[in-house]
């Protein structure tokens, strides 16, 4: 989506994720999309929740050169299991191994969210957690799921908005949208306070 209307502030999503774009579009607001050039390397001994908040803010701030007066949304997410950060699998074999490791275990998805008012140099940032408990997964189930959905660009090797729901035993958290990468409940509150009325 492009442009902004005269009744509201210019809104920018600093993300290349099609999932975040789809989520933000659900709010019915006009926004532009910006691809932030941010080094996403984890710092030494950096806690996952600190990392995602730092990266969400860095992505939002990266848009201020191009959009000096906009409200810019940044977000970043990691999946954590047994204290280890899980990356995007990238291919079938890695996704098989990742889901086999997650079988029967809880996985914490930490999603950093930032709304940066570039004109006022004001930052609002937080981390929203959502926990997924995986059911016991047989190798055949993993194989069938991956062949059908091919979630190789998703941390945790699943798409919760699709067939990935079949892999879960239980979900818990304040906002299911956080699991897909953009905590809309918190974001709506911030956007309303910043002068973008929703609904």
Question: Among 86-90, 140-144, 165-169, 182-186, where is mean pLDDT lowest?
Answer: 86-90
40-80, pLDDT tens digit by residue? 999 999 999 999 999 999 999 999 999 999 999 999 999 99
Number of domains in the chain: 1
CATH classification of the domain holding 107: 3.90.950.10
Does 3 reside within a domain?
no
Structural domain containing residue 69: 11-193
pTM for the model:
0.89
φ/ψ of 100, rounded to 5, equals: -65, -40
CB 111 within 8 A of CB 132: no
The answer to whether the Cα torsion of 187, 192, 196, 197 is positive or negative is positive
Rounded to whole angstroms, how far apart are CA atoms 52 and 192? Answer: 24
Q: What is the structure's pLDDT at 9?
A: 82
| Residue 76: active-site member | yes
Does 86 reside within a domain?
yes
Mean pLDDT of 4-28: 85
Q: What is the structure's pLDDT at 8?
A: 60
Asked whether the predicted pLDDT for residue 15 surpasses 80, the reply is yes
Mean pLDDT of 125-143: 97
Catalytic residue among 5, 76, 84, 91: 76
Helix (H) or strand (E) segment spanning residue 115? strand 106-117
């Amino acid at each position: 989506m492009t442009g902004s209307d005269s009744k509201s502030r210019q809104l920018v999503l600093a993300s290349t994720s099609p999932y975040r774009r789809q989520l933000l579009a659900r709010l019915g607001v006009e926004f532009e999309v910006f691809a932030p050039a941010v080094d996403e390397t984890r710092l030494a001994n950096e806690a996952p929740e600190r990392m995602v908040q730092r990266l969400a803010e860095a992505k939002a701030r990266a848009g201020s050169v191009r959009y000096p007066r906009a409200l810019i949304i940044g977000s970043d997410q990691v999946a954590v299991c047994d204290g280890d950060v899980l990356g995007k699998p990238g291919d079938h074999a890695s996704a098989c191994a990742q889901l086999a490791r997650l079988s029967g275990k809880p996985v914490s998805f930490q999603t950093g969210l930032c709304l940066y008012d570039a004109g006022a140099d004001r930052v609002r940032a937080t981390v929203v957690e959502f926990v997924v408990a995986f059911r016991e997964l047989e190798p055949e189930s993993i194989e069938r799921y991956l062949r059908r959905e091919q979630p190789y660009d998703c941390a945790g090797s699943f798409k919760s908005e699709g067939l990935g729901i079949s892999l879960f035993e239980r979900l818990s958290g304040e906002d299911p949208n956080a699991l897909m990468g953009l905590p809309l409940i918190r974001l709506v509150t911030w956007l309303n306070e910043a002068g973008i009325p929703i609904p």
